[in-house]
Structure 1
Amino acid sequence: MALIHEELYRSTNTGYVGLDFSEYLKNLTAYIFDSHNMKTDSISLKLKLDQVNLGMDTAIPLGNIVTELISNALKHAFPNESEGEISILLCKKENYKHYIENSENVRTDSHCQGVEDLQFVLVIKDNGVGLPNEIDFKEAESLGLQLVNLLVEQIDSCIELNRDNGTEFTIWFKDITSV
């Protein structure tokens, strides 16, 4: 929350009442890695971030989703201090195709992509051991995944899971503040 308040304070000084979510993600991910004592180089972080400004009603739940998914990856995706990568993509919906053109795992079965009023895409991916197939993330017993699903609903967004080569959550969303 302190990071959001700091970013909000900076943005109100420029005349915009909202949050530069891409800048917030840089600070948030650094904080999460630090809080999990990720001082080694075993897990790298790769960020591809379009500048996206969001109102607080979207930014706060989305920040909580990111925190939960990154924390889960750091705790579970890389057992025994194995090496790996966590990547985050944040972009406008119209730029998404450009970012995934050179990707190895391009999904063509996205039901969320066809939803008209979703303006942005957030992808959180790790190349770790992957979420076990027996876990239905939409009906998960874990409090963390339940929270992610509740927050996705709260911001009227759509979430998908890809289990190829690790775990990849794709969240299609709009800025509910501007609606």
Structure 2
Amino acid sequence: MQVIFSLLDLQSEKFRDKEVLEAFRESQSRVISMSLIHEELYREGEADTLDFSAYLQNLVKNLFHTYMIKSKNICLFMNLEKNAFFDMDIAVPLGMIVNELVSNSLKHAFPGQKAGEIQIKLTGEKVTDELIDDNRKHKRKDTGYTLIVSDNGVGIPENIDLENSDTLGMQLVDILVDQLDGEIEIKRDKGTEFTIRFSNI
């Protein structure tokens, strides 16, 4: 991951266009979001799941550092479920979703370095389903999670639709939510709020 990050850094030095440089920085941010997952897994030894709440704190801290100039007047509030352990199939796409949404807030929600707030909330609720398999009933226990990423900034325009967005970031969020077999809801009241619901079986 560090090699990929360095290659992107070297390649970006050949360009002066602000949009191109921003695209490289966004790609580097996505690489970092994945590399932090591997760091967390290595820290926990042989575990094949990671403490997602701890990872999320490191990820967002890194994003605020990346967008230091734009984030200096922005307060962060996090309310994260304890003992939320996810495997790679959930942690990677979910981490990238948070990366995209928080990055968007830092870049666009507070123009002119306006003061504001970004909030991240992760909650879980135990769910028991009855499944019928080969004419036999059995119960499946899982945990339904809700992730909310919100800001009190200028809000995204009404005409922006995740499924038909012309930005890579929003397209990526839509694809990754599908990958989680989850659902996403957007509210545009007094800022922007993304609510993502998914299950950890």
How far off is 1:167 after superposition? 0.3
Q: Following the alignment from structure 1 to structure 2, what is the Cα–Cα distance between the partners of residues 92 and 67?
A: 20
Q: Does 1:34 align with 2:70?
A: no
The answer as to whether partners of 2:119 and 2:149 remain within 8 angstroms in 1 is yes
Q: Following the alignment from structure 1 to structure 2, what is the Cα–Cα distance between the partners of residues 127 and 118?
A: 29
Q: State the SS of the aligned residue for 1:65.
A: helix
How far off is 1:39 after superposition? 7.7
Q: State the SS of the aligned residue for 1:58.
A: helix
The two structures have a TM-score, normalised by structure 2, of 0.71
1:130 corresponds in structure 2 to 155
2:107 corresponds in structure 1 to 75
RMSD: 1.9
2:185 alignment partner, one of 148, 160, 177:
160
What is the one-letter code of the residue matched to 2:41? L
Percent identical across equivalent pairs? 49
Deviating more after overlay: 33-42 vs 47-56: 33-42
Q: Deviations over 1:46-100 (max 9, x none)?
A: 0000121100110000000000000000010000000000000011036xxxxxx
More helix by share: 2
2:22 corresponds in structure 1 to none
1:3 corresponds in structure 2 to 36
1:110 corresponds in structure 2 to none
Q: Deviations over 1:93-140 (max 9, x none)?
A: 36xxxxxxxxxxxxxxxxxxxxxx761010000000001112123321
Q: State the SS of the aligned residue for 2:44.
A: helix
Structure 2 gaps of 5+ residues are 1-33, 127-141
The answer as to whether partners of 1:86 and 1:126 remain within 8 angstroms in 2 is yes
How far off is 1:17 after superposition? 2.1
The answer as to whether partners of 1:118 and 1:157 remain within 8 angstroms in 2 is no
Higher relative contact order structure (alpha carbons within 8 Å, sequence separation ≥ 6) = 1
Structure 1 gaps of 5+ residues are 95-116
Q: State the SS of the aligned residue for 1:34.
A: helix
2:197 alignment partner, one of 151, 172, 179:
172
1:47 corresponds in structure 2 to 78
More strand by share: 2
Q: State the SS of the aligned residue for 1:30.
A: helix
How far off is 1:5 after superposition? 1.1
Q: Following the alignment from structure 1 to structure 2, what is the Cα–Cα distance between the partners of residues 125 and 55?
A: 25
Q: Following the alignment from structure 2 to structure 1, what is the Cα–Cα distance between the partners of residues 178 and 147?
A: 15
The answer as to whether partners of 1:12 and 1:18 remain within 8 angstroms in 2 is no
1:107-146 matches, within 5 Å, as: 119-146=144-171
How far off is 1:34 after superposition? 0.4
The answer as to whether partners of 2:145 and 2:197 remain within 8 angstroms in 1 is yes
Larger Rg: 2
